[in-house]
Amino acid sequence: MPDLKQQVLLSLKKNQGQFLSGEALAKGCGVSRAAVWKAIRALMAEGCDIEAVTRLGYRLRAEADLLRTEEIRLRLTELGAQADVICFSAIDSTNTEARRRAQELSGPLLLAAEKQTAGRGRQGHSFYSPEGSGLYMTVALPIRLPLPDAALATQAMAVAALNAVWDAGGPELGIKWVNDLYYQGKKVAGILTEAISDLESGQTAVLLCGIGYNLTTSVFPEELEGKAGGIGRLNRNELAARTAAGFLHLAAALPDTSLWMDEYREHSIVLGRGLSFTQDGVQYRAVAERIDDRGSLVVRMADSSLRTLSSGEISILPDSLQ
């Protein structure tokens, strides 16, 4: 059952822009007016734009585009998911912070940030994370899995993310194997999956799956110009909650990929296209043939032989080079 802050916020949202008296809120929540006032003050301290007027009561004004712990928690509850939620105005990296908190986890944890000062991508790359125009988040999940299966969480997050964007009113995205989401030919989101292992069992103890979304970001560093783009304006609290809820649902099935692998393939922007990749210092060209049930990419080489890529970076070749 939602706690008092969630109940008050839900009541105010259902009556967006209208005043509700303290007495009406107290009666609806089954608590005292003093308890309602305490919840209101806590919500205001977390950034909720609530107007309090004597003899009129309280109303939720037009929502500011700020990440709010209670807003995300409420939406998670509505979606049938549960997780601790912590929001930051700025942080080095949500994955790094999740790793710092891993030992104290008793259940799923969602960390979301307005800005990252040291955002991280795969293979040591950085992830551009400017303030206010994106969503940067990590879901930390205590889970026991063979270490090779931890990488499957990347595909689960990709499917959860594209569904979350769609359900939040955004466009349909494509997946570039293995961990990027694309819109109109440009990268708009990247996923970083890490695992903290239990040395005794050789299994994961905590799975860290982070995703960074470019939403309204329009100015990028020179090295990203023409390569990165934005999804568009979305409610970031809703997007964070939908992403986390979707991921937790799919991750519960690990290592079984049948819940999402067909959808992952369906949204692939790689299959059937020419690509290049590097192995052992040698660059190859091939055509993406299929994605197997482990999420590996099977490619057809120039000599018609098949090769399976389980990890690494690929580049899609222009159509003229296929």
- Please give the pLDDT value at position 201: 78
User: Is-contact 91 113, C-beta < 8 A?
Assistant: yes
- Please give the pLDDT value at position 299: 96
Tell me how far apart the alpha carbons of residues 255 and 144 are, in angstroms, rounded to a whole number.
10
**pLDDT tier, 307 (very low <50, low <70, confident <90, very high otherwise):** very high
Between these two residues, 133 and 93, which has the higher pLDDT value? 93
Residues 56 and 195 in one domain: no
> Region 109-132: what's the mean pLDDT?
81
What are 1-22's pLDDT values in tens digits? Answer: 567 887 888 888 778 778 899 9
Residues 213 and 96 in one domain: yes
Chosen domain end from 32, 60, 88: 60
In whole numbers, what is the pLDDT of the chain averaged over residues?
89
Provide the β-strand partners of residue 134.
214
- Please give the pLDDT value at position 322: 39
**pLDDT tier, 321 (very low <50, low <70, confident <90, very high otherwise):** very low
Q: What is the dihedral of CA 70, 73, 75, 76, to 10 degrees?
A: 180
Residues 126 and 176 in one domain: yes
Residues 174 and 287 in one domain: no
DSSP designation for 268: B
Whole-model pTM?
Answer: 0.80
The count of structural domains within the chain is 3
What are 32-90's pLDDT values in tens digits? Answer: 999 999 988 887 776 567 888 888 889 877 555 688 898 899 999 999 999 999 999 88
Could you tell me the CATH number of the domain that includes residue 123? 3.30.930.10
Full residue range of the structural domain in which residue 308 is found: 274-321
